[in-house]
C-alpha cells in the first residue's frame, strides 16, 4: 500500500501544540513528530471523533474511534478502520456549521524529515465526505445528537498498488 497514515492518536485534536504524534512510514516503523494544531479549529478536543458510515438528510453518522484513525488491510485487499468502537453517533450539520477539509496527510514526508507536523485545513463541503473519511466535530449535545458548529473531515485515502 502506498502512502502513509497517521498512527494511533495522531488525528486526535485534543493534542496541544508540540504534543508528540506517531506517523507510520510504511516500513513498519513509526516516526515521532511534534504536532501543531491548525489555528482555525477550536482549542478544546472534539465532541465526536469517528469514521463516516452514512449520511441522511442533514445528519452524518460516524462510528466513533478510539485514539485517532488507524487503517488496517483486510485479506481481500480492502481497508477497514482498526480502532472503530462500534458506537454510532449522529452529527447534525446546520447552515451555521463551519466545514473544513483536513489537508495534513499531504505534508507527512515533510513532517518526518523536519520533526514537526503542522495541521493544515481548508474550507470543505459535506458532500465530499465519504467512505473511510475521518470526521471530527465540535458543537452542542442535544440528547443523542450533536448540533455541530465546526466539522473537520479527511478525504478518503487514495490507495495504489
Element (H, E) at 50: strand 48-56
Asked if residue 154 lies in contact with residue 130, where contact means CB atoms within 8 angstroms, the answer is no
Cα–Cα distances in Å, from 90 out to 106, 141, 142? 28, 10, 10
Confidence (pLDDT) at 8: 35
pLDDT digits (tens, 9 = 90+) for 57-78: 999 999 888 766 666 777 887 7
Residues 126 and 137: their CA atoms lie apart, in Å, by 12
Domain boundaries, the chain: 19-154
Q: Write down the H helix ranges in 24-149.
A: 108-114
Spatial neighbors of 34 by CB under 8 A, at least 6 apart, are 18, 19, 20, 21, 115, 116, 117
In which band, very low, low, confident or very high, does the pLDDT at 27 lie, cut at 50, 70 and 90? low
pLDDT digits (tens, 9 = 90+) for 34-44: 888 999 999 99
Amino acid at each position: 500500500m502506498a502512502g502513509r497514515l497517521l498512527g494511533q492518536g495522531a488525528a486526535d485534536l485534543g493534542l496541544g501544540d508540540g504534543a508528540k504524534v506517531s506517523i507510520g512510514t510504511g516500513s513498519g516503523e513509526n516516526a515521532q513528530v511534534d504536532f501543531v494544531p491548525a489555528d482555525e479549529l477550536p482549542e478544546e478536543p472534539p465532541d465526536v471523533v469517528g469514521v463516516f458510515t452514512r449520511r441522511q438528510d442533514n445528519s452524518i453518522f460516524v462510528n466513533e474511534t478510539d485514539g485517532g484513525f488507524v487503517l488496517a488491510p483486510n485479506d481481500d485487499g480492502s481497508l477497514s478502520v482498526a480502532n472503530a468502537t462500534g458506537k454510532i453517533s449522529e452529527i447534525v450539520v446546520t447552515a451555521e456549521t463551519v466545514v473544513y477539509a483536513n489537508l495534513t496527510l499531504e505534508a507527512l514526508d515533510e513532517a518526518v524529515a523536519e520533526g514537526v507536523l503542522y495541521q493544515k485545513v481548508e474550507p470543505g463541503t459535506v458532500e465530499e465526505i465519504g467512505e473511510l473519511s475521518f470526521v471530527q466535530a465540535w458543537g452542542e449535545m442535544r440528547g443523542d445528537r450533536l448540533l455541530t458548529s465546526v466539522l473537520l473531515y479527511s478525504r478518503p485515502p487514495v490507495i495504489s498498488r
